[in-house]
Structure 1
Amino acid sequence: MHTQVGRGGGWRRQLIAVGAVTSLALLAACSNGTSSSGGSKSSGSAAALTGDCAQYQAYAGHAGTKVTMFASILSPESDSLQTSWKQFSTCTGITISYEGSNDFESQLPVRVNGGNAPDLAVIPQPGLLAQMVKTGKVVKPPAQTVTNEDKWAPIWKTYGSVNGTFYAAPMSANMKSLVWYSPKAFSAAGYKVPTTWADLMKLSDTIAKAGKNKPWCGGLASGTATGWPATDWLEEIVLGKYGGDVYDQWVNHTVKFSDPKIIAAMNVLQGWMHNPAWVNGGFGGVSTIASTTFQDAGSPILTGKCSMLQQASFYEAQWPKGTKVGPSGDIWAFKLPAADPSVSDPVEGGGEFVAAFSDRPEVQAVQNYLSTAAWATSRIKVAPGWVSANQGVDPAVYTDPVDQLSAKYLTDPAATFRFDASDLMPAAIGSGKEWSEFTAWFSNNQSVAKTASNIDGAWPQ
């Protein structure tokens, strides 16, 4: 998951404050009017927008309106999100009232079922999208949004669809298969970046035996989304050990958690992140992984108390201001190797999708804008650690080295790419029982067999 940052979307989820609510009440001198390609229907005639605002003419005619948006994206990530549409809001006069919550996954169904749905929701789990569609409250996107979506690879449209019907345009993409580390610390110790799983495990053992720090640190705490980072760890192993076909069968429960293949993958994770000699650098024993927030998990790398953290590309936003991120900097990342070298370049990714609960013209205007390469470009420019798979985005726009690294793997046609499994599973599992069971696995040393059995038992019929 997410939360970008998630996990999730989420980029799941992401981030430090809980439930930050911000409203952009920016007014523009626009009168009601019609829209052109890329915008939405309106009545009357819109005054012509000039200067820098001319690019938003398609969305004119809705001055003085407000659109509410709910997501799991928290500050500081949400700060750049709101900056990305500031000019759009100023020029069109549409106020985007944004609310981010660490309890997004549990609160969205409550609000929708209680008749208090937001106009737009940024959903990081296709499983949760399917749950919302079942309520009958999700509105199909306008024609222009559907047209804009064609700039994404076809597989992304399937992730925003339920039973073959397209409901939510992709908003972001993130690279999950990364390991963060300190190039300076590696160089000083004479360590080389591992390119195979066997080398990664050997390096972990070498660091542990040196006795100066623990090779790994980690954190699962994320409000009501607590547990999601551990689901990512297992997903990386399943994809890298068995490839895409078994991964897909696991997502749809043809291959159960109690299947020997998944149990074997869980045992690999047990030997990796449950190894008391290897974790949890800077925080304590294995059980502290469950109580450490995912946002704080990587901080011991900067103090030399741990060497590595497996986390997504969006984790870049968590490094303190002033941290140099790059191949020769304070922090950098390498691709997590495949658990089985026969699997061709496994890449796990995540993303977020914009679903609407209203078809008001101003809501459609915002929905259309967020599905364009123009908005994605604006977001990239103000948000290091944020990547789009929109093929209309000029690759030269990426100036951040992590974004460049992520885009490289996310767009590699030879890669074995799959979306975050827990985000694809039914919401009761992927953003529910799996999170709680994985948390118990780490916090209470619950057995692999019991963890798998409990998740299988909760799978919706």
Structure 2
Amino acid sequence: MSSIRHRRWIGPIAAAAAIGITLTGCTGDQAAQESANVDCGPYSDYGTFDSGTEVSIYGTISDVEADRLNESWADFESCTGIDVKYEPSKEFETQINVRAQGGNPPNLAIFPQPGLLAAQANAGYIKPAPDAVAANAKKFWSEDWQKYGTVDGTVYGAPLMASVKGYVWYSPSMFSDNGWEVPTTLDELLSLTEDIQKSGAVDKPWCVGFASGDATGWPGTDWVEDFVLRQQGPDVYDQWVTNEVKFTDPKIREAFDSVGDYIRNPDFVNGGLGDVNSIATTEFGDAGLPILDGTCALHHQATFYEGFWPEGTTVAPDGDVWAFLLPGTEAGANAVTGGGEIVGAYSDAPEVVALQTYLSSDTWANIRVKLGGVISANNGLDPENASSDLLKNAVGILQDPNTTFRFDASDLMPGAVGAGSFWKGMVDWIGGKSTDDTTTFIQDSWPQ
């Protein structure tokens, strides 16, 4: 880890005082890490704790990504003596409420929806962020990113990882063999889709999946959000998030119908997977795989989808798969949507403060990104630590001051909408419910 940049080398006593930790004597865990030659310099900020000290974390990150998450704090555990217990769940959005209301929350939770974090804050369940976390949020993230962890002027958490949404994955060799060009406008994307369909080179141009456990439907919301931002611009997008522009507004209905031109058209979906109705039951993680067997040509999904390709898949402009950003109405448009997570705390115990502070640091961001598959909007991140050219490009987009970035709209909306009726509405809509009826259903659920 000697290549990680932007470390803060602070004396252990001063650093511990800064985040409210009392240092203890050398533990057995410390002796073990010293014999393993772990460099504890970057972790001197966080203090040391008695053997058996545990911090629980609850989140949606699972499978390989969960393994990498555990690896990202392995040295932190060795150097501090804290045992981090991570619990993944596909029912996070439901169960975090159940656990908080039942008085059995985790110490920390990784919220993929700022709206859900805000609901927990407003209910008095999570703690305001410690000073060190708030300071890291201010130091390492833009004002836009800071506000995603802020509720009514109080910082409750700092961002963790990030993703750039709106990528369209494809096979470079398939494009080359058929003479297809990457589109630069939305009109060109529709023309490309029509050309692919007419060519007969694949089963259907697009492959799509909405299934995701209790969160089924969210991939559909990403489609709509991308089209709202590209067709209507950031001001309308922001007003939609706050309900100044309603779901029933013609501008939002236009986005639904534009998305429908692709994924409700039986001639265009669902390549290698079935008909339009199969979208609702196809796991989102599996939905892009037909590109590899040549039954589908295009798949809409975020940067994190790189981690879903089978082992041995080459992600490169001349590899097995690559991706382009969903274009705008005009060539060269720079508006993108994205997502991320916010770490909130249900406890202010010193060991919890230590881990929450570490997760808000540039040290953690560089370590996790270097392990592969993800990026971060932390401005202390060295883009060269990203594990592929695609992810390096995505980091560049996030760090480019000229990029018009907007967080995933459904994640910013009240939980009853963003993690409820919007998801359900997309499932009903892909099943044949009209745009008017779907948007009315979602709008009627907005909390009064």
TM-score (norm 1): 0.90
User: Aligned partners of 2:193, 2:17: CA distance in 1, in Å?
Assistant: 51
Match of 1:380 among 352, 369, 374: 369
- State the Cα distance separating 1:408 from its structure 2 match: 1.9
Partner deviation per Cα, 1:149-172 (whole Å, 9 max, x = no partner) = 121111111111111211110011
Specify the alignment match of 1:60 in structure 2: 47
1:130 to 2:109 alignment: no
- State the Cα distance separating 1:38 from its structure 2 match: 8.7
- State the Cα distance separating 1:141 from its structure 2 match: 1.4
1:452 to 2:442 alignment: no
User: Aligned partners of 1:235, 1:37: CA distance in 2, in Å?
Assistant: 43
Match of 1:313 among 299, 303, 306: 303
- State the Cα distance separating 1:270 from its structure 2 match: 1.1
Runs of 5+ unmatched residues, structure 2: 1-11
Mapping of 1:74-223 within 5 angstroms? Answer: 74-149=62-137, 150-213=139-202, 214-223=204-213
Partner deviation per Cα, 1:177-229 (whole Å, 9 max, x = no partner) = 21100001111111111111111110100010112321100000000000000
In structure 2, the CA distance between the partners of 1:343 and 1:245, relative to structure 1 (3 Å rule), is: farther
- In terms of fraction of residues, the more helix-rich structure is 2
Partner deviation per Cα, 1:33-57 (whole Å, 9 max, x = no partner) = 9561697333354449766123212
In structure 2, the CA distance between the partners of 1:422 and 1:38, relative to structure 1 (3 Å rule), is: farther
Task: Letter of the 1:54 partner, please give it.
Answer: G
Runs of 5+ unmatched residues, structure 1: 1-32
1:398–1:404: 8 Å Cα contact kept in structure 2? yes
For 1:121, what is the secondary structure of its paired residue?
strand
1:35–1:57: 8 Å Cα contact kept in structure 2? no
Match of 1:421 among 409, 416, 419: 409
Match of 1:440 among 424, 428, 432: 428
- State the Cα distance separating 1:102 from its structure 2 match: 0.7
Task: Letter of the 1:130 partner, please give it.
Answer: A
- State the Cα distance separating 1:148 from its structure 2 match: 1.2
For 2:368, what is the secondary structure of its paired residue?
helix
Specify the alignment match of 1:30 in structure 2: none
Task: Letter of the 1:36 partner, please give it.
Answer: A
For 1:304, what is the secondary structure of its paired residue?
coil
User: Aligned partners of 1:319, 1:238: CA distance in 2, in Å?
Assistant: 28
1:234–1:269: 8 Å Cα contact kept in structure 2? yes
Partner deviation per Cα, 1:314-359 (whole Å, 9 max, x = no partner) = 0011000000111100010111101x22894111011100000000
2:160–2:341: 8 Å Cα contact kept in structure 1? yes
For 1:36, what is the secondary structure of its paired residue?
helix
- State the Cα distance separating 1:142 from its structure 2 match: 1.2
Task: Letter of the 2:277 partner, please give it.
Answer: S
1:216–1:278: 8 Å Cα contact kept in structure 2? yes
Partner deviation per Cα, 1:284-306 (whole Å, 9 max, x = no partner) = 11110111000000010000000
User: Aligned partners of 1:319, 1:430: CA distance in 2, in Å?
Assistant: 28
CA-atom RMSD in angstroms: 1.6
1:298 to 2:288 alignment: yes
Specify the alignment match of 1:241 in structure 2: 231
| Identity level (%) | 46
Specify the alignment match of 1:26 in structure 2: none
Partner deviation per Cα, 1:372-413 (whole Å, 9 max, x = no partner) = 1001111011122x1111111222222411211211222222
2:247–2:440: 8 Å Cα contact kept in structure 1? yes
Corresponding pairs, count:
426
1:46–1:60: 8 Å Cα contact kept in structure 2? no
For 1:287, what is the secondary structure of its paired residue?
helix
Specify the alignment match of 1:286 in structure 2: 276
Specify the alignment match of 2:20 in structure 1: 41
User: Aligned partners of 2:369, 2:91: CA distance in 1, in Å?
Assistant: 26
Specify the alignment match of 2:5 in structure 1: none
User: Aligned partners of 1:126, 1:90: CA distance in 2, in Å?
Assistant: 31
TM-score (norm 2): 0.92
